[in-house]
Structure 1
Amino acid sequence: MGNFATATAASSAGGPVEVDENDFGPSSAAGTPTTTDAGSGGPATTTKEQRQMTAKLRQHSLSSVRKLQELLHECNVQLATFRNAIQSIGTAGDGPQLRKEVDNSARACVRCCEVTKNCVLPQLKHEGVEFTRHASQFIGCVSACVIEMKRCEALEETFPGDVNVAAPHIENMEHMLETLENLITVHYSTSEAAPADKVTPRRRRGTATCRPVCCSKLKTSYA
């Protein structure tokens, strides 16, 4: 009150008014309030860190999806090569060279599926819908590999060769397929919405709420 009275008296006398900066509370050297100093880790810094973390997670997710796409493409290529090779078993082109090609194709198919499985399993619970969709496509590819290997086994029994190519790989591929199917089933069952979040269908109106007017019109029409 003393400073305010002094300033009022000086202004009425026509002299310069001196203002004490302590009357307006503490402030920083730049003139901004010290409560939201940029160097104190305020909300702006937290938001920036959150955006950086979100960008890193998005980039990691895109990288995982891209890698899975490449591996899935390679699995399909190896499967097509194996399918094309076993079609010549029992034909005029059958021989030791063809059986060796079939063996190499089967090993490459199994090896590619193993690499893709090792990419899918650790990340399935942490990735989004796109990653899960490609993982489902990979399960279809593994299932097709099992079918083609059983077909190859049947051809090898019909047209025996020096070595059975498909028989050693069938059990391994069936175990891989079962593991992937169980994991996908658990993933979808745990990622479903809670029962409270699901839309409850409206109850249909029963026959007990029929209007008398409708019944009277119906009787009149029969009369």
Structure 2
Amino acid sequence: MKRNHYHKRANRKYDRRLAAAFIGAALLSTASFSPVASAAVPDLPTKPAVSSTKPLSPLNKNVDRTRSAKSIADQVKLDKETANAPIKTSYTAKKAVKQQNQSKAAANKNQESSNQAAPKAKEIINVTATAYAPGAHDNGKWGNKTHLGTQVRPGVIAVDPNVIPLGSSVYIEFPNGQGMHAIAEDTGGAIKGNRIDIAKWSVSEAEDFGIQTAKVHILSRGNA
């Protein structure tokens, strides 16, 4: 009887231990899947993101700097050219006007001059003077050319070659004391005897001259 009683107590003790083992295993399983347990696990360190942009090599950096410097230099040059454009235009216009004035001054070298004493002449002829201009209006089919083929211009006169030979150098003295040098290079159908026709730049200048009396001082006789 005592032995049976001992075996019953041993079986109960074993059942308790087995139940405790099952409960412990259940608790461990629950803890491994619990949110609290998951929260207790520290986050693993993440690997820093690597930039996909490749850094420039020293050579590429030098190329970029060279391009930037060239762009700046080109812009500065463009700005200077733009700023100087009005100056260049103004200078060109002034230069053109100056050249035109010089040409007129050279052409008018033999024209009227105030209070100039008449040079010593080989011969003096009293004449009636009129004026004309280049072009068909005054010079007909001859246009801008003289009888000698030169340009009709101030400083040229048309003469009667029987009175004043072509190519002669003369000084024309007007009653008001003014005078001008001229070369006999042209002739005209109405220019006969003691009459001369003085070339002007325009028809209006020729008309303003009208008809005047003058003295022609022949400085040298031509042989054209």
Instruction: Give the TM-score normalised by structure 2.
Output: 0.27
- The structure whose Rg is larger is 2
Structure number having the greater helix percentage:
1
Ranked by relative contact order (alpha carbons within 8 Å, sequence separation 6 or more), the top structure is: 2
Structure number having the greater strand percentage:
2
